[in-house]
Amino acid sequence: MPEVTGYKWVPEFAQGFVRDLRVRWALEEAGIPYDEHLISLEENASPAHLKRQPFGQVPAYRDGAVDMFESGAIVLKIAERSEALMPADDPGRARAMSWIFAAMNSVEPRLMNVRSAELFWAGEPWAERFGAKAAELLQMRLARLSDWLGDKPFLEDRFTAGDLMMACVLREIEGTDHLAAFPNLEAYCARCLSRPGFKAALAAQLKAFAAYEAAT
Ligand SMILES: N[C@@H](CCC(=O)N[C@@H](CS)C(=O)NCC(=O)O)C(=O)O
């Protein structure tokens, strides 16, 4: 059975946002059961973990055939094996692939700049100006995404792993002013997150943290 490496516990602000969620969601959509391999925050720097994830992060993933790191690569691998996440035809697969990379390379870095200024660097003398510029650049990118989506339910003609990844990125700013300017993106994000696969993945990650908290 596939095995997903995540954390035993993280601080509350990160609960529900650790990136093994992306892998869990992909497996849920594909209907593939999996085992959890949960490590502590300290263990992520252990030689054994660094051998599997060179940057000391989660997620990692392994099954009988592959041993992988990087959430995007893992989701792509799972998607290649499941039509629930990618169409069977080559042009359709190429589009889904493009959206996975777009979410992680074109949208997420701009969003992370904004969130880092707000959450991690707040109070630094330069953070306010940096954050304002970062927010402006994020709005420009979201405007393009919003134009592309228009009134379609998904980025292409059906739900794919590209939507999964884009929704994982957008939910970081769900309910904030950053997304409020784009009602179609807000509705799109909510549509993706209402899928049973997402709910099951989120519940599984949170259950692990709750179990750890109850035991300590
Ligand atoms: N690009 C990596 C990022 C993974 C990542 O940022 N993981 C976080 C949890 S969401 C982590 O393990 N952080 C601990 C650290 O960087 O030391 C991916 O998408 O898999």
For position 175, what pLDDT does the model report?
95
Alpha helices in 171-195 (DSSP H): 177-180, 183-193
CA of 150 from ligand 1 middle (Å) equals 32
Domain ranges of the chain: 3-84+197-215, 90-195
- Pocket probe for ligand 1: among 15, 19, 74, 164, the residue whose CB has the most ligand atoms within 8 Å is 19
Residue type at 65?
A
Residues 53/5, Cβ–Cβ less than 8 Å: yes
How many Cβ atoms sit within 10 Å of the Cβ of residue 68?
18
Residue type at 64?
G
- Pocket probe for ligand 1: among 17, 57, 76, 116, the residue whose CB has the most ligand atoms within 8 Å is 57
Q: Residue 88's pLDDT band (boundaries 50, 70, 90)?
A: very high
Name the CATH code of domain 90-195 (choices 1.20.1050.10, 3.20.20.210, 3.30.499.10, 1.10.3720.10): 1.20.1050.10
Q: Is 19 in the pocket of ligand 1 (CB under 6 A)?
A: yes
Does the pLDDT of residue 119 top 90, yes or no? no
Of all atoms in ligand 1, which is nearest to the CA of residue 57? 12
pLDDT in tens, 25-74: 999 999 999 999 999 999 999 999 999 999 999 999 999 999 999 999 99
Does the pLDDT of residue 78 top 90, yes or no? yes
pTM of the model: 0.97
For position 185, what pLDDT does the model report?
98
Nearest-CA residue for atom 2 of ligand 1: 70
Give CA–CA dist 84/44, Å, rounded.
Answer: 32
Share of the chain above pLDDT 90, in %: 98
CA of 151 from ligand 1 middle (Å) equals 33
For position 5, what pLDDT does the model report?
98
pLDDT in tens, 171-196: 999 999 999 999 999 999 999 999 99
Question: Regarding the domain delimited by 3-84+197-215, which CATH topology (the fold level of the hierarchy) does it fall under?
Answer: Glutaredoxin (3.40.30)
Which residues, including other chains, have CB under 8 Å from residue 165's CB and lie 6 or more apart?
A: 22, 72, 75, 99, 100, 103, 104
CA of 70 from ligand 1 middle (Å) equals 8
Query: Does 3-84+197-215 match 90-195 in CATH topology?
Result: no
Q: Residue 92's pLDDT band (boundaries 50, 70, 90)?
A: very high
For position 84, what pLDDT does the model report?
98
Q: DSSP readout, 106-156?
A: IIHHHHHHHHIIIIISTTSTTHHHHHHHHHHHHHHHHHHHHHHHTT-SSSS
Q: Residue 133's pLDDT band (boundaries 50, 70, 90)?
A: very high
Does the pLDDT of residue 8 top 90, yes or no? yes
For position 11, what pLDDT does the model report?
96
Does the pLDDT of residue 22 top 90, yes or no? yes
For position 214, what pLDDT does the model report?
96
